[in-house]
Structure 1
Amino acid sequence: MTIEIDKLTFDNNGLIPAIVQDDRTGKVLMLAYMNEEALQKTIDTKETWFYSRSRQELWNKGATSGNRQQVQRLLFDCDQDTILVQVLPQGPACHTGEETCFHKKAFEQATSSREVVQEVVDEIKERHNNPVEGSYTTYLFREGLDKILKKVGEETTEVVIGAKNRDKAEVTSELADLTYHSLVLMEELGVTVEDVKNELRKRRPNREVLRNE
């Protein structure tokens, strides 16, 4: 992880705002401030370090709570006066116990579906680790791999039938069913969404090469 600290613009107090974002979901988790030392510690340790304006000292996110943030990448904006820190959170970002500090809704034009896949993944994992009587997901895990595979096959067939009928609503519904059962299968086999994303990324053409052709 490299960043040219001397090219960044710190304010008169030697601070720069750092926006922390969940690398998996894109959700903004918190806003804090770094000085040069906090930024360097973040680079060196691959964990987030900030400067507390009230206590006037460095602090390592999660050092006391255990809710650490593993840094995946650092980016800075076009004016070089704000840092974006993309992390894998090991727990809630907010001191209230909420996943993100930005949990108080002020306005919403429409419900966002951006994080729904990760939410379903988390719910499936919870049912796998903590079975609940009467839960369909718990039932699938209890029945085992053959049952899960049978459902994946059935839902795949339903998608094909809906597509042959050119029924958009039916295909949409069946694709949702197939996605859910595929996610259950992935949990059963230890395959993550990130594994699939990385595989897709490897299959993409090198855009830098294409631009130079």
Structure 2
Amino acid sequence: MFFPQKVDFQKGDGLVPAILQDARTGQVLMLGYMNQEAYEKTCAEGVAWFYSRSKERLWMKGETSGHTQKVIAIDLDCDQDTILLSVEPQGPTCHLGNQSCFRDDYFNLAVLERTITKKIAYPEEGSYTKYLMEQGLDKILKKCGEEMTEVVIAAKNRDANELLDESSDLFYHYLVLLQEQGLQLKDVEARLAERHGVKHTYSVRNDIQQW
């Protein structure tokens, strides 16, 4: 349940645009419209409700398909006339079966992490992720170490293309390691957020004689 904020419904004749954004990946999923009743139901129930301009009625996103949108956070823009919903989609958002109504080729590390999570939850024969998890922590750590070494070598050789390839491999194995440890990328982001803007004082170790 969310405490309703003061939304300016007057500018748009009782309607304001409402944007759905994947809380985990940041992908913009769709744009709809809310009246005050739809907004209040969204706040009260924790799922996205909209007002249909064509059917002139309220509708819950996913009421037919079952692909509802669990609301994680609700924000307003600086003019209080646009709503941003951070959500956990319970399936494809677009009626065409796509993840987003805008573009379906969106990718970042969070998307990769979600793919890894699915591979672990629903292992398929021949899956490399399945192989790593079956081999266990030591194998995953060995691969992380190997990939980090290859990143260092590529950087030392100033081979940009190789550096990108090895960095990609390292990120993948690191995300698998986080999963094995029961952690997620958002946990790392939260720790970085704690440190952001905080001044740290570092001292040089006395036992280091040469760099």
> Which of 185, 196, 203 in structure 2 is aligned with 1:204?
196
Partners of 1:32 and 1:6 in 2: CA distance: 15
- The residue type equivalent to 1:138 in the other structure is K
CA deviation profile, 1:46-82 (whole Å, cap 9, x unmatched): 2211112233222222344332222233333344432
Partners of 1:10 and 1:97 in 2: CA distance: 33
Partners of 1:152 and 1:6 in 2: CA distance: 49
1:96, distance to aligned residue in structure 2 (A): 2.5
TM-score scaled by length of structure 2: 0.80
Q: Which residue of structure 1 aligns with residue 169 of structure 2?
A: 177
Gaps spanning 5+ residues in structure 1: where? 105-111, 207-213
Q: Which residue of structure 1 aligns with residue 202 of structure 2?
A: none
- The residue type equivalent to 1:81 in the other structure is D
Within-5 A mapping of 1:143-182: 143-182=135-174
SS at match of 2:98: coil
1:93, distance to aligned residue in structure 2 (A): 1.1
| Identical columns (%) | 50
SS at match of 2:12: coil
Q: Which residue of structure 2 aligns with residue 5 of structure 1?
A: 6
Partners of 1:66 and 1:193 in 2: CA distance: 28
SS at match of 1:5: coil
- The residue type equivalent to 1:164 in the other structure is K
- Checking the alignment, whether the CA contact within 8 Å between 2:4 and 2:40 is kept in structure 1 is no
- Checking the alignment, whether the CA contact within 8 Å between 1:25 and 1:118 is kept in structure 2 is yes
1:156, distance to aligned residue in structure 2 (A): 1.6
Aligned length: 198
- The residue type equivalent to 1:44 in the other structure is A
CA deviation profile, 1:6-54 (whole Å, cap 9, x unmatched): 5444422x21121211122222211111111111122222221111223
- Checking the alignment, whether the CA contact within 8 Å between 2:7 and 2:81 is kept in structure 1 is no
1:182, distance to aligned residue in structure 2 (A): 0.6
SS at match of 2:73: strand
- Checking the alignment, whether the CA contact within 8 Å between 2:8 and 2:80 is kept in structure 1 is yes
- Checking the alignment, whether the CA contact within 8 Å between 2:73 and 2:85 is kept in structure 1 is yes
Partners of 1:202 and 1:69 in 2: CA distance: 28
Indicate whether 1:193 and 2:193 are aligned: no
- The residue type equivalent to 2:159 in the other structure is D
- The residue type equivalent to 1:53 in the other structure is R
Within-5 A mapping of 1:40-79: 40-79=40-79
Q: Which runs of 4+ in 1 moved over 4 A?
A: none
Partners of 1:15 and 1:191 in 2: CA distance: 40
Q: CA RMSD in A?
A: 2.5
- The residue type equivalent to 1:140 in the other structure is L
